[in-house]
């Protein structure tokens, strides 16, 4: 209770300025409770930390010149993310850059609140920028009924292989379209006292039931983009891998709250390859379904 009393003033300004808009947000029923369930933050490797919920992954990249936050989860996750950042010894005001794997409500729902609280710059794939700017209403599958999250305007548009640099850490954006037009993954080199790790934060190319791979009115090339992404992701080289959803990289089998610092548990190349193979089979099946 004390935590939320302390956080209330920070987010009150956001609620007041956006309340009229927020009342118009499209609310999806029957969301998985694990999407909002708390999960203790922890150090993954070097200056990379997990600050998300039990299922919706959010990552903090901490540097001497400020921090990068990747994803935010649902719109009710802003206080939780702030609490996680502070528990790790960092400050929300020191977040300088905001990134996301995809412009869907379950990954950017709290982005507007975090941006307001931190003053950070939003950087987003150029192909997802329109959806970020209209709250997801232009999404080719979920859109058309109104905004699903508070809009956020991009301060920088990202393209394939663009590099985001802050405080000696470089983050490379990889264009992996399909799930959204601008879905992307990130490659980051992080270093601890022993070694440097190349970390992949993957946007796994799952296919929504409503997607028609032959082409959608708002995304004619969707099938072609999925094929490109599946092929491109199979060729990636990395030391550790993570994803936008905790279940996609089996976080809870690899890490339990209170575990010691163990970057090596996130190596799992076999798990990555198996996940991509399953997604490839799902793509082929949907492609063949009439």
Asked if 44 contacts 32 with a C-beta cutoff of 8 angstroms, the reply is no
The tally of CA atoms less than 13 A away on the side-chain side of residue 128 is: 31
- Output the pLDDT for position 218: 95
User: Two tokens at 17?
Assistant: 């300025």
Q: What is the pLDDT of residue 289?
A: 83
Q: Is a pLDDT exceeding 80 seen at residue 80?
A: yes
Domain residue limits, the chain? 33-288
At 255-264, the pLDDT tens digits run: 999 999 999 9
33-288 CATH fold: Metallo-beta-lactamase; Chain A (3.60.15)
pLDDT value at 4 more than 70: no
Q: Is the pLDDT of residue 16 over 60?
A: no
pLDDT in tens, 37-61: 999 999 999 999 999 999 999 999 9
**8 A C-beta contact, residue 183 and residue 174:** no
Contact residues for 273 (Cβ-Cβ < 8 A; gap 6+): 234
Contacts of 224 (CB under 8 A, 6+ apart): none
Q: What is the pLDDT of residue 290?
A: 57
pLDDT digits (tens, 9 = 90+) for 191-225: 999 999 999 999 999 999 999 999 999 999 999 99
Rounded to two decimals, the pTM is 0.92
pLDDT tens-digit readout, 225-264: 999 999 999 999 999 999 999 999 999 999 999 999 999 9
């Amino acid at each position: 209770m004390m935590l939320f009393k302390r956080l209330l003033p920070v987010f009150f300004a956001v609620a007041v300025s956006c309340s009229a808009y927020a009342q118009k947000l499209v609310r999806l029923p029957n969301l998985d409770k694990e999407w909002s369930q708390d999960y203790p933050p922890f150090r993954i490797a070097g200056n990379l930390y997990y600050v998300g919920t039990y299922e919706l992954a959010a990552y903090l990249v901490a540097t001497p010149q400020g921090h990068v936050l990747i994803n935010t989860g649902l719109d009710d996750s802003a206080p939780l993310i702030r609490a996680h950042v502070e528990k790790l010894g960092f400050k929300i005001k020191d977040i300088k850059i905001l990134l996301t794997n995809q412009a869907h409500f379950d990954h950017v729902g709290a982005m507007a609140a975090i941006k307001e609280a931190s003053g950070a710059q939003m950087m987003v794939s150029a192909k997802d920028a329109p959806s970020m700017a209209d709250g997801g209403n232009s999404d080719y599958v979920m859109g058309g009924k109104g905004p699903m999250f508070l809009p956020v305007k991009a301060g920088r548009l990202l393209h394939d292989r663009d590099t985001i640099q802050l405080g000696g850490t470089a983050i490379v954006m990889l264009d992996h379209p399909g799930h959204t037009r601008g879905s992307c993954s990130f490659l980051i080199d992080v270093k601890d006292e022993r070694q440097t790790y190349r970390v992949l934060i993957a946007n796994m190319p799952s296919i929504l039931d409503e997607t028609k791979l032959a082409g959608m009115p708002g995304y004619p090339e969707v099938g072609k983009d999925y094929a490109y992404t599946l092929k491109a992701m199979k060729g990636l080289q990395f030391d550790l891998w993570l994803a936008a959803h905790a279940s996609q990289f089996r976080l809870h089998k690899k890490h339990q709250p209170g575990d010691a610092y163990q970057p090596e548990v996130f190596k799992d190349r076999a798990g990555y390859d198996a996940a991509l193979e399953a997604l490839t089979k799902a793509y082929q099946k949907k492609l063949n379904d009439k």
